[in-house]
Amino acid sequence: MLTRRSFLVTTGLTALASTRVFGANDTIRVGVLGAGHRMKGLLDAADKAGAYEIVAACDVYGPNRDAIQQRSNGLATTHLDYREVLDKDIDAVIIASPDHWHLAMAADAIQAGKDVYLEKPVTHTIEEGATLTHAVRSSKQILQCGMQQRSWTHFRDAVDLIQGGSLGRVVQVRTYWWQNYGRNWPAKPLDQQALDWKRWLGSAPDQPFSDEKFNRWRWYWNFGGGAMTDLFTH
């Protein structure tokens, strides 16, 4: 039987358990901030779990906005400015923007009274962490970091196995991560006319448009932190 709790646990979006009390049949009203490839994966997980409604979506790239509106059967409004999404009657936001936008979007969402599911890493810099921590602790809102691997069944089984003593005394642990992803991604060419590059840059230094930076932003210090703040955070 599907319950609100099972929806949250299945998707990993436990931040959507808003501070107000929900009835059994309530639908979670969600705003989408950053509607690219990662957001698609998050919404695919939510689709399998339970009832939610995409009320509004923000992205600086037109095709991404269009994809979310289509996914919502035309019900979601689309926006260039994420603050317009926060003005909507929503319970929570899901943030899957590049890292350099995380702090501003999350802090503004909290101030607007929305719960937040924020993709890892929660901030672009260590210093920003203190600002976001203060914003959360000064509010009644819930913020969850998108560390979904911590909830995956095979990881939890391993934790239970070790903590239960089944392996005896563990004297050495060696880990590996073999992944050479994104070599042929994205498959579709970028329509630069549909992109607001200046808005995408946000707080980053002004610089000419680069297809490489837009699609592989994690590998540039202005926007991300490389593999260390991507895969290694898990």
| Chain segment 187-231, per-residue pLDDT in tens | 778 999 999 999 999 999 999 999 999 999 999 999 999 888 888
Q: Give all domains of the chain, ordered by start, each with its CATH number.
A: 4-150 (3.40.50.720), 192-229 (no CATH)
Sheet holding 115-119, edge to edge: 77-79, 52-58, 28-33, 92-95, 115-119, 143-146
User: For the whole model, what pTM was predicted?
Assistant: 0.84
Q: What sign results for the dihedral spanned by CA atoms 133, 148, 158, 3?
A: positive
Gap between the Cα atoms of 135 and 108, Å rounded: 9
Give the pLDDT confidence of 128-182 residue by residue, as tens digits. Answer: 999 999 999 999 999 999 887 877 899 889 889 989 999 888 899 887 777 776 6
Q: Under 8 Å CB-to-CB from 149, ≥6 apart: which residues?
A: 155, 234
Q: Amino acid identity of 29?
A: R
Tell me the average pLDDT across 79-100.
Answer: 97
